[in-house]
Amino acid sequence: MSIWDDTGRLLVSPSAMFSCVSSLQGMMILTMSVSIHGLKPTCDENNICHPTGLQIGVFFLGLYLIALGTGGIKPCASSFGADQFDDSDEIEKKQKSSFFNWFYFSINIVALVASSVLVWIQTNIGWGWGFGIPAVAMAIAVVSFFSGTKLYRNQRPGGSPLTRIFQVMVASVGKARVEVPNDNFFDKAAVVTSNDQTKGSINPWKLCTITQIEELKSIIRLLLIWATGIIFSTVYGQMGTLFVLQDNTMYLHMSPSFEIPSASLSLFDTINIIFWVPVYDRLIVLLSRKLTGHKNRFTQFQRMAIDLVI
């Protein structure tokens, strides 16, 4: 998320800046597509709309810009926040463990507002306000993020991890026939041969360090754990798409005068998370310390298991 310039002063990386601006532009375009007369499709008495090619193009341009920006922001936000804690400080190390819980808690607070207040605004007032309010909120968030640039802690970049991974793979394939007792396939990437040097220097695509090899092995082991979350992520991803379409076929009236909007049914999941995050962080963790006698919190595997059960 951040890099050093020549003087060592922290700057926000171009990718982070592009992602934030892309999301903001997408929100602005969506707002204009439902507010400007020429960009709004005409609808008949049966509420069936007939958009033109230009109107469809502008609308999807906004969606694609938001998707592009989200792809750059979402995977980096939590790790960038974790970088602000010093692992060598015991107090900050404990705070870092709680950071992810409260980060997710904050996300769901925003989701609670979006699924209730914004849905009501979109349904009863109009889509212009429904998209305009998030656009203003995004603009405030972008300005706030960049205004704190000089205060952020920076982790000096160590190069592309993908390059290190592919170097081990390429070197291992190139030395597949090298016979070394008791060595696994990827370990052969660290075997020194006469062909490892190019123009007097070591070719990193032919000879790799033990650290690189162990990093690749760790990633392969993590892929097995990652694969277990595919089913959960697939189901979770339906909440904003298929589940809403299913909700449209349900009877959503709680009373003759009160109806729950289809887009608001995700509130039940959001409220569940908002309830359980403080319970886990302030109650379950403390009880585990008393029962086990260990000061350390749950391991990463245990935390994942507890989260999935909840």
More confident residue, 193 or 125: 125
Task: Please determine, for residue 140, whether its predicted confidence score (pLDDT) is greater than 60.
Answer: yes
Q: In the structure encoding, which two tokens stand for residue 51, read together?
A: 């958009």
Residue 193 pLDDT grade (very low, low, confident, very high; cuts 50, 70, 90): confident
Q: How confident is the model at residue 180 (pLDDT cuts 50, 70, 90)?
A: low
What DSSP line would sit under 248-306, residue for residue? TTS--EEETTEE--GGGTTHHHHHHHHHHHHHIIIIIHHHHHHHH--SS---HHHHHHH
Whether residue 67 is contained in a domain is answered as yes
What is the domain range of residue 179?
161-227
Query: Who contacts 272 (Cβ-Cβ below 8 Å, separation ≥6)?
Result: 310
pLDDT in tens, 64-89: 999 999 888 887 888 888 888 887 88
Select from 157, 176, 203 the last residue of a domain.
157
Q: How many CB atoms lie within 10 A of CB 74?
A: 12
Which helix (H) or strand (E) is 50 found in, with range? strand 49-50
Q: Nearest 5°: CA angle at 106, between 60 and 32?
A: 25
Within this chain, do residues 148 and 3 fall inside the same structural domain, yes or no? yes
Q: What is the dihedral of CA 11, 16, 20, 26, to 10 degrees?
A: 150
Same domain, 13 and 140: yes
DSSP string across 30-45: HHHHTTSGGGSPEE-T
Residues linked to residue 12 through DSSP beta bridges, in sequence order: 2
Query: Are 36 and 108 found together in one domain?
Result: yes
Cα separation, 112 vs 269, in Å, equals 10
Residue 238, phi then psi, degrees to nearest 5: -80, -10
Q: Which of 157, 183, 217 is the last residue of a domain?
A: 157
Together in a domain, 169 and 206:
yes
Q: What is the pLDDT of residue 296?
A: 61
